[in-house]
Chain A
Amino acid sequence: MRPFLLKLGATALTLGATLASVLYVTAHLKNPSAPLQPIVLASHQGGSVGGVTITPGVRKGDVQPVTSTYAS
């Protein structure tokens, strides 16, 4: 009787974990705050300025730059 209960418990645990994973992934699909979301999706929300694509990891400023990147 006891081995049967152990098997039943393990099966229930596995099914429960699978179901929880499915629910989590489904709930976070295409959610910008979801973990491991490709940064390019966020960049569309961050916007493109004068042909420049800026992701949320970079802040735009409105002050005079002290220097710049350029071809040399």
Chain B
Amino acid sequence: MRHRSSVEAHHFEALGTSCSLFGLGVTRSQLLQGEFWVRELRARITRFSDRSELALLNGAEGAWVDVSAEMEALLWEALRAYELSAGLVNAAVLPSMLAIGYTRSLAAGASTAKLEDARPAPRLPDVLSVQRGRARLELGCGVDLGGIAKGWMADRLAARLGSNALANLGGDLRANGPGPNGDGWPVGFAGVTVMLRDQGAATSSVRRRRWGDLHHLIDPRTGLPSQTGLEEVSVVAATGCDAEVVAKTALLLGPGLATAYCAAHAQAWWLS
């Protein structure tokens, strides 16, 4: 049976990008609480603040540090992303991020690059240990969760908003439930509309967050910005986080292998 009711929507700027929340049967207050949840979690996982949970972990010099349940879950997700991507989505690229000058929010501008300091990333499972309520990084290593955080947060935020909701955090999104007309949430995907129901979508690109010849997407095999011949990949997958990981992996694989990888891991894809 098809049903129609009005969609409650809320738009805001966070995570350095535009975010949108949609829901049926949700209140304005719930959407605002969703925005607050994003801002509160962002403050804990950003690497641009010395007081964030992530900064404390990165600066612990090899010691175990206590982490919140959300941080613990994100770190486990980073390890899962590493496995799903055969090592291409590797959160341990922080030293390279710093070497290319991505030391602060790009709104403040990149700092001077020291490409000679960039180096291939270590295997994430070798340098990151996670236990219940605590985590540890090997001395000299650092992690950046920007590669998976938006998709992971979109998955959780959509679930928090109820059984018929959509959370879009900077293009990484998760749609739950039958949508406004019972046939899924209509989502723009590389120029066409797809109806998503309990699915996620994401886009990985080197066309944004770039300065000069450099951009933010590090290839962990070289420690330098990716140059594979692909500039943008959009993917639909089972979850927002999976879509984000698959899109990034395909982009890093390049045009020769991306199609085969997407065929095995995605439900829809677009390569450019």
CA distance A66 to B271 in the complex (A): 23
Q: Please report whether the interface of chain B is mostly helix, strand, loop or mixed according to DSSP.
A: strand
CA distance A51 to B270 in the complex (A): 6
**Shortest Cβ gap from A69 to chain B (Å):** 4
**Shortest Cβ gap from A24 to chain B (Å):** 24
CA distance A51 to B188 in the complex (A): 14
Q: Is A49 on the interface with B (CB-CB < 8 A)?
A: yes
Q: Is B58 on the interface with A (CB-CB < 8 A)?
A: no
Q: How large is the interface on B (under 10, 10 to 19, 20 to 34, 35 or more residues)?
A: 35 or more
**CB-CB nearest 5 A-B residue pairs:** A68-B188, A71-B205, A40-B263, A72-B170, A72-B17
Q: B interface vs A, CB < 8 Å?
A: 7, 9, 16-18, 20, 22, 150, 166, 168, 170-173, 180-181, 183-196, 199, 201-205, 207-209, 232, 234, 236, 243, 259-260, 262-264, 266-272
Can you give 25 contacting A-B residue pairs, CB < 8 Å?
A39-B263, A43-B263, A49-B192, A50-B190, A50-B192, A51-B190, A52-B268, A52-B270, A53-B259, A54-B192, A54-B194, A58-B196, A58-B268, A62-B193, A64-B186, A64-B193, A66-B166, A66-B187, A67-B187, A69-B171, A71-B171, A71-B232, A72-B17, A72-B172, A72-B209
Q: A interface vs B, CB < 8 Å?
A: 38-40, 43, 49-55, 57-72
